[in-house]
Amino acid sequence: MPDPLLPGQRVSPKRALSLAARVTAFAALFSLALEYGFHDGQLPHMVEFALPLTLQALAVLLFVAHYAVSLVTAGRVGAFLKQTWLDAVVIVAGVALLLTGFAEGHVSVLKAMVAYVLAVGVLDVSRLGVDAAGRRLSDPRARLRPARVMVTSFVAAILIGGCLLNLPRAMSVEHRHEEGHYLAKRVVNCFFTATSATCVTGLVVYDTGRDFSRFGQIVILVLIQLGGLGIMVFGSLFGMMAGRRLSLRDTLILQDVMSHQVLGQVSRMVWFVVVLTFVCEAVGAVLLYPMWPASVGPLSERIFYSVFHAISAFCNAGFGLDGQSLIPYRGAWGVYAGIMPLIVLGGLGFPVLHDLTAWAAARLRRPRPDAEAPVGIPRARPRRSAPRFSLHTRIALVSSAFLIVVPALCLFLLETRDWRRPSQKPAAPVACETTAVMADMGVADRALAAVFQSVTARTAGFNSAAVDVNSMSTASHFLLCLLMFVGGSPASAAGGVKTLAAAVLLLAVYSTLRGRQHVEILGRRLPEQAVRRAGVVVVMMGLLVATVVLALCVTERAESTQEILFESVSACGTVGLSTGLTPRLTYGGRIIIMLAMFAGRLGPLTLLMALAGRSTSAPYEYPEESVIIS
């Protein structure tokens, strides 16, 4: 990839060809939006057919030309082909298919090559932007800001996704021909949906299965996958597949994104994250397939339902294709054997999953001693024991298990009909087989619903029971708010303050009460920086929730502050549970929730670090003086 041009630097023909290839790649992206985003007859024939085909063919030709020139001018042809093997395979296969007419016409082959060219163009431009955003690492004064790269990538994904969802073909028939006030409302709602999908929250103002077409649902699914794993992770994976080596700047950014502190293992960690994600989602989709009834549709429709909900569950997004979330399927075993494990795995974090995978692999490779060896001959010594879990993994596993079991027991007891106050009891109980109210369910159904809500409330946003203010007690609502505030584990798709931050802060309180100087757990002493960071994260998230609640109290006319508090914590924690207030929000309220979801996904601390100026250390220290705390 060529470096950015300096002022007054001469443009070589090869560089000019590279820049032209990038520009036409993004023009091809615009042509695809024209071709697939509008219905037949909505645009002039020249704009609808001739222009997209011309731009796409030009993008492919310039890409092939640039590759040919680079191959000819390469000093070591073998090394160049080894580095760009994927480009060569795509070009050769595409030319061969075009000459033989293997596919259904030449257009389908052209579309496949255009998709690859677009991916390469987006990758190169994004990496060029990363390098141009700051000075070279060789400059000792240069400061790398991964937080700004993360913020920029999420903003770009939201803007592109919102524009795609606003295309006529992305909407259902009821919303395609809206004009005036309704068109402005649709624009806001589509960007709200794009923000919720990219930030893997799940709060919706449109019914995903009813108000969006299949094209719109696929756009939402792609945004969920990008937002759940991280845009930089996907870009780096594709770059490594296409032969683009990770620069030191890219490696440092990925290290910050994935909380993986070993530079030499970042590439391996990227492969592990993506492969594990796709494997878990594929297994989840297979488990979910039998859950859908025949009324959902034909085979293709049930497969899409399975894939959509598996990705949404593992990425902790909470998007569903049914307006009632999982309430109609709460009796199906797939909810508890498919979706619930995906939520747990997606919320543990990839460092924890990496440790678990390494431990399981070591246990499987460990041979058993030869029990039938002859007397006098020493038995075969087994290999060394499986690797021990890191302190991070042990705290994450213990805290996650505690936050599943204890809240589930509390929800089960709080939603027992005899324990609820008369004003909190549903007015008209219905049969246990059809009710969505936990207090009206039988013991077994209420226990399953309590466990599922305990799992999903920390991050996912699915619900198998009604959570509106008339169906759930105030105490249960407050308990769910606490779970949403804590969230999942670090380096995962979950939001909230994270389990490690909450655990470290509680350990700091315990150490202070015992008069200990340091925070200790499991035979280890935590560094002071980790304790301070945990306190800052919790305080910043509390301030974010308080600000959102205050702003919504000004803009909205909700039935109670309880609704506003619940919706605010759900948005800031990127959970997606709703009491029904989100679809009734005003324009101002929807913008506030969009900003809350964005800040919650990135984290208030990361967002402030991205907006802040260059950090400097003071060359002096003030004298110490104590103050009265309590």
| CA distance from start to end of the chain | 60
Q: How far is Cα 211 from Cα 583, in angstroms, rounded to an integer?
A: 13
Sign of the alpha-carbon torsion through 416, 420, 424, 427: positive
User: Per-residue DSSP letters for 300-319?
Assistant: HHHHHHHHHHHHHHHTT---
pLDDT along the chain (630 residues), means of 10: 48 73 75 72 66 78 81 78 73 72 58 69 54 41 57 84 88 65 80 92 89 91 85 49 46 47 58 84 92 86 93 90 86 88 88 85 67 53 63 89 93 77 48 65 89 89 87 90 90 84 90 85 84 87 93 87 92 90 90 92 67 61 77
Q: How far is Cα 616 from Cα 413, in angstroms, rounded to an integer?
A: 52
pTM: 0.81
User: Per-residue DSSP letters for 572-592?
Assistant: HTT----SS-GGG--HHHHHH
User: Per-residue DSSP letters for 12-77?
Assistant: PHHHHHHHHHHHHHHHHHHHHHHHHHS-TTSS-HIIIIIHHHHHHHHHHHHHHHHHHHHHHH-S-H
Sign of the alpha-carbon torsion through 470, 476, 482, 488: negative
Q: How far is Cα 132 from Cα 151, in angstroms, rounded to an integer?
A: 16
How many whole angstroms from its chain centre is CA 392?
21
Q: How far is Cα 196 from Cα 496, in angstroms, rounded to an integer?
A: 15
The pLDDT, as a whole number, for residue 571 is: 93
Using DSSP, state whether 524 is helix, strand or coil. strand
Residues 6+ apart with CB under 8 A from 332: 291
Paired with 171 in beta bridges are 212
The two three-digit tokens of residue 12, written as one number: 């070589």
Axis crossing angle, helix 528-555 with helix 604-611, rounded to the nearest 10: 90
The pLDDT, as a whole number, for residue 366 is: 62
Q: How far is Cα 216 from Cα 334, in angstroms, rounded to an integer?
A: 26
Paired with 525 in beta bridges are 520
The pLDDT, as a whole number, for residue 330 is: 84
- Single-letter amino acid, residue 530: A
The pLDDT, as a whole number, for residue 146 is: 59
The pLDDT, as a whole number, for residue 550 is: 94
Minimal CA–CA distance to 535: which of 512, 569, 566? 512
Q: Which residue has the tokens 């000459």?
A: 99
Using DSSP, state whether 375 is helix, strand or coil. coil
Count of residues for the chain? 630
The two three-digit tokens of residue 139, written as one number: 């400059």
Paired with 212 in beta bridges are 171
The two three-digit tokens of residue 487, written as one number: 């969230």
Q: How far is Cα 463 from Cα 460, in angstroms, rounded to an integer?
A: 9
The rounded mean pLDDT for the chain is: 77
Paired with 520 in beta bridges are 525
